[in-house]
Amino acid sequence: MIVAKRKPIDEIKEMLKPYQKILVLGCGSCVAVCMAGGEKEAGLLTTELQMAFQLDNAQKQIDTITILRQCDREYIEEVKEKLVQYDAILSIACGVGVQFTAEVLGGEKVLLPGLNTTFLGATLEPGIWVERCLACGDCVLDETGGVCPVAMCSKSLMNGPCGGHEKGKCEVDRTRDCGWVLIYERLKKLGKLDLMKKINPVKNYGAVKRPDKIIHEAYQPVAVKEEKKPS
């Protein structure tokens, strides 16, 4: 999932200063799981902002709405008529949600980010999320025992650990496990240590064209499908 964390309240207040009628727009998917931008967080942030501006003697209308996903047009369209009534929308979705909501609204409304998007991660335990993927577009997990060298190695090395690792820890941060030690231990458990001998090519970071676009086969135009048929 996409993991994010809320911006400092002072930074958010500064962004909202020029606007009178403000909507805090929550997102009920990834950022709700990491307790940064769901319905509960949207309500708490709204209350916090109302109190903060009242203490500053600044009269502002601050409301809140939460939709299931801000990266999906249908959910934005459902509340579009409400959204356009505000001077500014403070989105507490990931960066994708902020951008896409602005796009669906025709770029005519001010969309402000209430969160800092950090990484693609997993829930290690309640309240702790860890990075596991950099979305590089060229997955090699089949060769590394399901441990990603790009995400789990601080240097994204493709062929074993650097000379700085010590006692299984990374030289960049001694509190972190060395990604390649994790790969070694996993391959050992799987009985696939022979994969450690393989020399991997330099990572193909061009596998993903930024900004990328994927069209599912079922949704491609007929002409494109016909062109792809073997002759």
pLDDT score for 29: 94
Distance CA 201, CA 38 (A): 41
pLDDT score for 229: 62
pLDDT score for 219: 86
pLDDT score for 68: 97
Tokens for 57? 């003697």
pLDDT score for 230: 61
Please state, in angstroms and as integers, the Cα–Cα distance from residue 9 to each residue in 36, 115, 119, 151, 169, following that order: 13, 10, 21, 30, 35
Return the amino acid letter for 103. E
pLDDT score for 188: 96
Query: 2-119 — its CATH code?
Result: 3.40.50.2300
> What tens-digit pLDDT sequence spans the chain (231 residues)?
999 999 999 999 999 999 999 999 999 999 999 999 999 999 999 999 999 999 999 999 999 999 999 999 999 999 999 999 999 999 999 999 999 999 999 988 999 999 999 999 999 999 999 999 999 999 999 999 999 999 999 999 999 999 999 999 999 999 999 999 999 999 999 999 999 999 988 888 788 888 888 888 888 876 555 666 665
- The domains of the chain are located at 2-119, 135-199
For the chain, the residue count is 231
Residue of 92, 114, 96 lying closest to 37 (CA atoms): 92
> Is 31 exposed, middle or buried (CB count within 10 Å of its CB: 0-12, 13-18, 19+)?
buried
pTM of the prediction? 0.87
Per-residue burial over 78-98, b if 16 or more Cβ lie within 10 Å, else e, is eeeeebeebebbbbbbbeebb
